[in-house]
A and B are shown apart, each in its own frame.
Chain A
């Protein structure tokens, strides 16, 4: 049985179990920590860096989703410094690829757009890259628009860990990283894809969407995927 530990989050004492992450404990305690790549029920990868927190005695910021709690730990979830870095993360995500909210199926339901609003971002501070990105329309029911992909890898993980098909992966490195399916086949030609659409449902932006929706019409059901994942995993 996991040992009980006690940590402080923003000054409040919170009970936790060894092995839990700061993010799990904080969310359970009703604390808001923003995150884009984290999704309950999937493994945590610490990719988006939005969930960074300050831990007393640690000289650097730590991602809450991959940092296990330790007894006596004191965590700060919100500060001017954290807000500055989180804004910077969203700023980078907005300028790296081509996010044209106005013509996106997920306009109004997008987690990236929502965070930009929440953080009070009215414009980006780094130049737009305008990279040429492919749009994969080969699947009969789904679209993959790389312009809108933020490489959170939720789709990669939900497919591997929940659906068990492991269609998606990332290829290349750094700014050239691309989502890729079954050794770089177009989606419609991927034989291991079961067509379940879990990847679409967990995608935080309009990068993956169902065909047939117009601007603002695509809403996602990532909550139900989280529920499914936690049920299957036998986790709490």
Chain B
């Protein structure tokens, strides 16, 4: 039997959703029996594989790099899951949205700096005008809100997907 190809992606988030994924404890054994984790911050792969069955995405789309990454992920993924409030609603990363990017960066890296004031430009991706939820830029197949979604919810979602079923989340999940 072919194992399901599972990937996880970390965009603009705090990694709390990945922590919650690890928090499913012994259920991870079941996942490992049925799926290969082919990409993500928890494994070594450097490039997003050509074909993936399910990708769990944590975080909002905040930078040019996030945007390019999620578009590539979408192309190569059969079923894309927005995992957690940042991916679903843009959440905390979006709190900067009412402030223009230039003003925001200057406030933090110039006015707020004790040493070496200056907006970093080398080797860091450009911020988008606004941090947005995944659904604003790519098609999302399943939304799993929560900050983070509780381990039990993630275990249920992954378990259902591994069985080839779409998890029914109505009433089971909440924002925050």
A98 to B94, CA, bound (A): 9
Q: Is the CB of A118 within 8 A of B171?
A: yes
A127 touches B85 (CB 8 A): no
B95 A123 Cβ-Cβ under 8 A: no
Given the complex, which residues of A lie within 8 Å of B171, measured CB to CB? 117-118, 120
- For A101, list chain B residues within 8 Å (CB): 85, 147, 174-176
Determine if A122 and B169 form an interchain contact, defined as CB atoms under 8 angstroms apart: yes
Q: Is B91 touching A100 in the complex (CB atoms < 8 A)?
A: yes
A103 within 8 A of B: yes
Report yes or no: A132 in contact with B89, Cβ–Cβ below 8 A: no
| Bound-complex Cα distance A183 to B132 (A) | 36
Whether the Cβ atoms of A130 and B174 lie closer than 8 Å is no
The B155-174 residues at the A interface (CB cut-off 8 A) are 169-171, 173-174
Whether A107 and B176, one on each chain, are in contact in the complex, defined by CB atoms closer than 8 angstroms, is: yes
- Residue A132 contacts which of B85, B98, B140, B145 (CB distance < 8 angstroms)? B98
Q: Say whether B20 faces chain A, with CB atoms less than 8 Å apart.
A: no
Interface size on B, residues (CB 8 A): 29
Partner of A113, one of B82, B130, B174: B174
A116 contacts B by Cβ under 8 Å: yes
Residues A122 and B89 in contact, CB atoms below 8 Å apart = no
Contacts of B140 in A (CB 8 A): 123
CB–CB B136/A102 < 8 A: no
Question: Is A131 located at the chain interface by the 8 A CB criterion?
Answer: yes
Please, how many angstroms separate the alpha-carbon atoms of A104 and B95 in the complex? 12
Contact partner, A100, options B95, B98, B133, B173, Cβ 8 Å: B95
The interface residues of chain B lying within 8 Å CB-to-CB of A118 are 171
Q: A104 is contacted by which of B97, B130, B176 (Cβ under 8 Å)?
A: B176
Find residues 109-168 in chain A having any chain B CB closer than 8 Å to their own CB. 110, 113-114, 116-118, 120, 122-124, 127-128, 130-133
Question: Which residues from chain B contact A108 at a C-beta distance below 8 Å?
Answer: 176
B144 at the interface (CB under 8 A from A): yes
Tell me if A102 and B174 are in contact (CB < 8 A): no
A91 to chain B, nearest CB (A): 12
Interface residues in A, total, Cβ within 8 A:
26
The answer to whether A123 and B98 touch across the interface, beta carbons within 8 angstroms, is no
**Chain B contact residues, CB within 8 Å of chain A:** 82, 85, 88-92, 94-95, 97-99, 130, 132-133, 135-136, 140, 143-145, 147, 169-171, 173-176
Chain B residues whose CB sits within 8 angstroms of the CB of A124 once the complex forms:
89
Return B150 CB to nearest CB of chain A, in Å: 12
Give the interface of A toward B (CB within 8 A): 94, 98-104, 107-108, 110, 113-114, 116-118, 120, 122-124, 127-128, 130-133
Q: Which residues of B contact A128 (CB under 8 A)?
A: 89-90, 94, 132-133
B176-A120 in contact (CB<8A): no
Query: Quick one: closest B residue to A103, CB to CB?
Result: B92
* A22–B147 CA distance with the chains assembled, in angstroms: 38
B97's nearest neighbour on chain A, judged by CB, is A130
Indicate if the CB atoms of B90 and A122 lie closer than 8 Å.
Answer: no
Task: Supply 22 A–B pairs (Cβ within 8 Å), ascending by A.
Answer: A94-B89, A94-B175, A98-B95, A98-B98, A100-B89, A100-B94, A101-B147, A101-B175, A102-B176, A103-B92, A104-B176, A116-B175, A122-B144, A122-B169, A122-B173, A123-B88, A123-B89, A124-B89, A128-B132, A130-B98, A131-B98, A132-B99
- The reply to whether A130 and B170 form a contact with Cβ atoms under 8 Å apart is no
CB proximity of B175 to chain A, nearest CB, Å: 4
A131 to B94 alpha-carbon distance, docked (Å) = 11
* Closest partner residue, chain A, to B98 (CB atom): A132
Residues in B whose Cβ lies below 8 Å from that of A99? 175
